[in-house]
Amino acid sequence: MRKRWFSSLLLILYLFCRMDPAISDDTAKLLRDYIQLNTVNPPGNEIIAARYLATILEGEGIEYEILESAPGRGNLWARLKGGSEPGILLMHHMDVVSADASRWQYPPFEARLVNGRVHGRGALDNKSAGIFHLQALVALHRKGKPLKRDVIFLAVADEEAGGQLGVGWLLDKRPELFDNLGAVLNEGSSGALTQGKLSFGIEVTQKLPLWLRITAEGPSGHASVPQAHSATARLVEALNKLDKVFFEPRVLPVAADYLRSHARDAPPPWGELLKTPELITQSRATMAALKQYDHRLSAQLTNTCTLTRLEASGKINVIAAKAMAEIDCRLLPDENPGRILEKIKRAVAGEGISVKPLLSFGPGVSSPDNFLYKAIESRLASRFPGVPVMPRLNAGFTDSHFFRERGIPAYGFSPVILSKEDKSGTHGDNENITLDNLNLGREILLEILQEVVY
């Protein structure tokens, strides 16, 4: 009864807003309402976001389906039917990472509009893209013109934790929802403003995750009587060994093109060095210097492992019998995860030490020779003549891999332009997006879709 009451209330509010198109079509308002729905994963609770989006679709007369993979873990699917050409899927995730409000300028779930920016967790990752997709779907529906291909809107749960309760679950339990797909548009890249110069990247492949748990065991006891071989001491030693593991850097073609595109905007000596990334990888000192200059660029050239979680005793005066660290490794797309796992196991080996993989999957690359990629290129060339547009390797990973593993092309692109400072809010503090970007994203996304569906 509470669920039906909540949905009815949202529908009433939405229909009230529809009396004024300036309100219902306001990208900033829709995004602010969306951000205010707290979908931090864990626990996710994406069902509240799915119902919010569903209410808008219902008000427009667009059929949809909410699919719960677990209690409170909602996914939303909707479709505009078109002709027989392979369909396009617009996908974003509803869950967000946590936010420490004490570190934010404005509360992360109030979605304040200040100085032309919407502030809040999910403003960039990934709720703004979801609103662009939603508004484009609604705009196509309102036009009522026949479409040559299906347009599917998908809002998923659990991306921030690996997607097993989101896309992974949907592809396993409801594969028919993705029949005859020709391309997926997802997150992964955007426009970048560097030293006043603009470029665009379209993500076509991504680094592979290898998430690990290193566990150390040893004798427990009272902290007033230190032990030389405690679990925590063994874990610290293992982590120190891991920090010294060297991953041989190498240059993949997609990374080479991306780094060279940054050369024209880079200060000395990087303006010259980035023209020949192969030379950068030949020197450990130069690789270390590149990481200091721009860690995002250095991550394009090498495997990385980052310590993200530590856990040991629950009390300050108790020596724990077990200590744990979780490590987020990201591997170049042509890497063999099994080889790296064995390398790390050998490096950290010691008494009481074990290494367990938590998440890993294989590579996938989407060709630029695709109707969606070409449409993105075309619209950007029209809007921004002479600005470079190039395929990109994503140092992170997204839900796109689920589709690439099944032979379905997937592309990461959000039509916004971000500075380095803007990007720092993604998974960081004070995440926000400008009103200019909201307007740009809404307009370009619709232009891209119109190019591929009519």
Residue 434 dihedral angles phi and psi, to the nearest 5°: -80, 155
Has residue 126 been placed in a domain? Answer: yes
Flag whether 394 is in a domain. Answer: no
Which residue, 230, 393, 240, is CA-closest to 312? Answer: 230
163 lies in the same domain as 311:
no
Domain boundary among 318, 334, 360: 360
- Considering the domain architecture, whether residues 93 and 34 belong to the same structural domain is answered as yes
Same domain, 174 and 223: no
Same domain, 233 and 108: no
The residue among 323, 342, 360 that closes a domain is 360
Q: Are residues 105 and 227 in the same domain?
A: no
269 with 139, same domain: the answer is: no
pLDDT of residue 18: 40
Q: What integer pLDDT is reported at residue 228 of this predicted model?
A: 85
| Residue 100 belongs to a domain | yes
**Confidence band of 4 (pLDDT split at 50, 70, 90):** very low
Which of these ranges, 9-23, 104-118, 438-452, has the smallest mean pLDDT? 9-23
Residue 241 lies in a domain: yes
Q: What's the pLDDT at 14?
A: 43
pLDDT the model gives residue 195: 78
Distance CA 410, CA 425 (A): 25
Q: Are residues 180 and 214 in the same domain?
A: no
CB atoms within 10 A of CB 292: 8
Structural domain count, the chain? 2
- Distance in angstroms (rounded) separating the CA atoms of residues 115 and 112: 10
Structural domain contains residue 381 = no
Cβ burial 382-417 (10 Å sphere, 16+ → b, else e): eebeeebbbbbbbbbbbbbbbbbeeebbbbbbbbbb
pLDDT tens per residue across span 358-371 = 999 887 899 999 99
Contact status, residue 245 vs residue 327, Cβ threshold 8 Å: no
- The CATH number that applies at residue 296 is 3.30.70.360
159 and 245 part of one domain = no
How many angstroms separate the CA atoms of 93 and 264, rounded? 34
Dihedral sign for Cα atoms in the order 216, 217, 223, 225: negative
> What does the pLDDT read at residue 362?
81
Closest CA to 129 of 50, 185, 206: 185
Task: Determine whether 315 is exposed, middle or buried from the number of CB atoms within 10 Å of its CB (0-12, 13-18, 19+).
Answer: exposed
Over residues 331-356, mean pLDDT:
96
Reply yes or no: is the peptide bond before residue 42 cis, omega within 30 of 0.
yes
Contact (CB, 8 A) for 98 and 6? no
Q: pTM for the full model?
A: 0.87
pLDDT at 383: 96
Asked whether residue 128 falls in the same domain as residue 220, the answer is no
Q: Which of 5, 181, 199, 164 is nearest to 93 (CA)?
A: 164
Query: Residue 262 domain-assigned?
Result: yes
The predicted pLDDT at position 194 comes to 81
Q: Count CA atoms closer than 13 A to 50's CA, side-chain side.
A: 27
CATH number assigned to the domain comprising residue 53: 3.40.630.10
Report the pLDDT averaged over residues 47-62: 97
Q: Is the peptide bond before 126 cis (omega within 30 degrees of 0)?
A: yes
Q: At what angle do helices 47-60 and 27-35 cross, to 10 degrees?
A: 150
- Name the phi and psi angles at 128, rounded to 5: -65, -40
Q: Buried b / exposed e across 8-35, counting CB within 10 Å, b at 16+?
A: eebbeebeebeeeeeebebbbbbbbbbb
Range of the domain at 324: 208-360
Residues 312, 435, single domain; the answer is: no
Average pLDDT across the chain, whole number? 93
Are residues 166 and 217 located together in one domain of the fold? no
* Strand 181-186 relative to strand 85-93, pairing: parallel
**Burial group, residue 92, by CB count within 10 angstroms (0-12, 13-18, 19+):** buried
CA pair distance 157, 46, nearest whole angstrom = 6
Q: How far apart are the first and last CA of the chain?
A: 42
Looking at residue 365, what is its pLDDT? 93
Put residue 244 in one of left, alpha, beta given phi > 0 → left and psi -120 to 50 → alpha: alpha
Largest CA distance in the chain: 78
Asked, for residue 223, whether it belongs to a domain, the answer is: yes
Q: Give domain status of residue 196, yes or no.
A: no
Query: Rounded to an integer, what distance in angstroms lies between the CA atom of residue 214 and that of residue 356?
Result: 6
Q: What is the pLDDT of residues 375-403, one digit of tens each?
A: 999 999 999 999 999 999 999 899 999 99
Q: Is a pLDDT exceeding 60 seen at residue 219? A: yes
State pLDDT tens for residues 401-425.
999 999 999 999 999 999 989 999 9
Picking from 360, 382, 397, the residue at the C-terminal end of a domain is 360
Do 253 and 169 lie in a common domain?
no
| DSSP 8-state assignment for residue 225 | S
- pLDDT, one tens digit per residue, over 71-120 is 999 999 999 999 999 999 999 999 999 999 999 999 999 999 999 999 99
Which of 320, 267, 318 is closest to 294 using CA atoms? 267
Range of 12-16, 36-40, 256-260 with top mean pLDDT: 36-40
Q: Compute the average pLDDT of residues 59-67.
A: 97
- The backbone torsions φ and ψ at residue 326, rounded to the nearest 5 degrees and listed phi first, read -115, 135
